[in-house]
A and B are shown apart, each in its own frame.
Chain A
Amino acid sequence: MTWEETNKDMGAYQQALDAQSSSGVDSRVAEGRARRAAVRAYRNEHPDEDAAHAAEARTAAPAGGAPAATATAAAAPAAAAAAPGNGGAVAVAAAPMTAAVREAPLPTGNIPTPKKGAPDKHRLLAIVPPEGIQRVEREQGDRVHTWPHLLLEEFIAMSILFAGMLIFSSLINAPLRELANPNLTPNPSKAPWYFLGLQELLRYFHPMVAGIVIPTFILVGLAAVPFVDRNPSIRPGDRKVAITLFTILFMFGAVLTIIGSFFRGPGYNWVWPWTQGVFFEL
């Protein structure tokens, strides 16, 4: 039965729609609730018609394929059992409107068999109260299709990266020194560049502080950032403290790494790279 064929009270519909719309509910939800109100108002005015519908649902139930259920179960569960077969809308009409929670019908042991000639497809119908639907309140925003916009951009980025890497790697060879010799310590001995900030700290702190405490602090501190910074705004103007702190620490790390890389020479002593040369290998 379509909405147009359903008996309803259009006065109640308009009244409910106005009430819902003025309370700021989404238009589609407001419309749905107004429809519900219209049908209920009509049924309350015509209780005799409502009973006729329920009787109709009872007779429809055996055709739905659950003959035993009608004999034992009450009208509402029987109507619900009829829902998968046919007359879903009728089942809605027959269900008691006041009951918020309905018991599922007890299993009868009779597995319903599909009608002869019924298409071999699943047909599922669920009756869901509007408040049972999880509504996602999200602005659709200004969106574009991933294909082709984002994927083309990613493809271009990947192509440029791979081409750049190919050219660079064809021109500049990675270093390979003489065979490892545990008895011959090169001077200076440096860690890979990303650890040179820590190696630089070794000049100023006890190894336990520079090698264990500070790295642990950096990693744990980084992981804790979102739980410490509870400022919900992402506008740079609102996060001056966070941005300043991060920039200072990031620059601190960068400067230490650059010093360790280019300004430390034999004996890990200070050198000026433009006079004594660079003691740095990747």
Chain B
Amino acid sequence: MAIKPPNLRESEVWKSIFRPGSIYRKGYKDTSRDRALATMNNVLWHLHPTKVKRHGLKLTYTFCLGGLSFFLFVLLTLTGIFLMFFYRPMADIGGAQAYTDMQTIRTSVFFGDLMRNLHRWGAHLMVLSVTLHMARVFYTGAYKPPREFNWVVGVVLLFLTLGLSFTGYLLPWDQLAIWAVTVGTSLAGYSPFIAKQANFLLLGGAIVSPNTLLRWYVLHVLALPFVLVLFLAVHFWRIRKDGGISGPL
């Protein structure tokens, strides 16, 4: 007796994973209804409305800059997690593990060098793409009612992006890192009234020290990404609630 091969897409397991309307489900038809369900019934895609303005698809309207910033954030999160496995934020007397770990990542860790390059270049590119995204939003007038608040959220995101990039800049603990951070933070010492306190809060001491390294590491891998994801969620949500992409011009 011939055994009938099981059809994977008709199995209960398959059907339990892919909700009705999923493009992977048996019976998906290229109809208006199923296209809408494909967006609506997917945890990631339903960030989007089921339909979008046609003009928003034009590359020359958005240049996909907001999207690229988000993709870079995803790339930086993935490569950052990889790097965290091999990096210790320590530089106390008796050895600068942070720096030696950097050398290990470059020389001994499989794909370590590539991951570090991706992380560093991606960080620079993200600062650039977020800035250009802001310029695009300005030139298309996309901050106008009802999108005022989302512009403000965007400014916070720009600030957080700079903060993430700057805190990450210290972590290699080489000459480039500590002197760039020394120059960059020296300005905090000129804040009115709270100069000393601001400096201490930022550096965990009077100068850039191993305390600063630990402090900025925690900010870089946990605190700032956490806050950034919260604002990112609001940013995306407000795009939908404020009526999708702005325009057309």
Q: A residues engaging B (CB < 8 A)?
A: 138, 141-151, 153-154, 157-158, 161-162, 165-166, 168-170, 172-182, 184-186, 189-195, 198-199, 202, 206-208, 210-212, 219, 222-223, 225-227, 229, 231-236, 239, 243, 246, 250, 281-282
Contacts and interface: CB of A to CB of B under 8 A. Distances in A.
Contact of B247 (A210, A222, A234): A234
A210 to B, nearest CB: 7
A193 B120 CA distance: 13
B164 to A, nearest CB: 11
Given A177-B176, A179-B96, A182-B208, A192 B55 contact: no
| Most B C-beta atoms less than 10 A away, residue of A138, A182, A234 | A234
Contacts of B103: 176
Given A161-B71, A211-B190, A226 B148 contact: yes
Interface residues of B, number: 89
A234 B64 contact: no
Contact of B249 (A151, A158, A236): A236
A225 B35 contact: no
Contact of B246 (A185, A227, A234): A234
Interface of B: 23, 32, 35-36, 38-39, 45, 48-57, 64, 67-68, 71-72, 75, 91, 96, 99, 102-103, 106, 113-114, 116-118, 120-122, 124-125, 127, 131, 134-135, 138-145, 147-148, 151-152, 155-156, 158-159, 162, 165-166, 169, 172-180, 182-184, 186-192, 207-209, 243, 246-247, 249
Nearest to B100: A179
Contacts of A141: 53
Given A179-B96, A182-B208, A212-B192, A151 B187 contact: no
Given A219-B155, A243-B139, A145 B68 contact: no
Nearest to B35: A145
B162 to A, nearest CB: 6
Contacts of B180: 189-192
Contacts of A180: 91, 96, 99, 173-175, 177-178
A150 B48 contact: yes
Nearest to A184: B175
B166 to A, nearest CB: 6
13 contacts: A142-B54, A162-B71, A166-B118, A180-B99, A182-B208, A189-B180, A192-B180, A207-B189, A212-B190, A219-B155, A222-B158, A223-B151, A243-B139
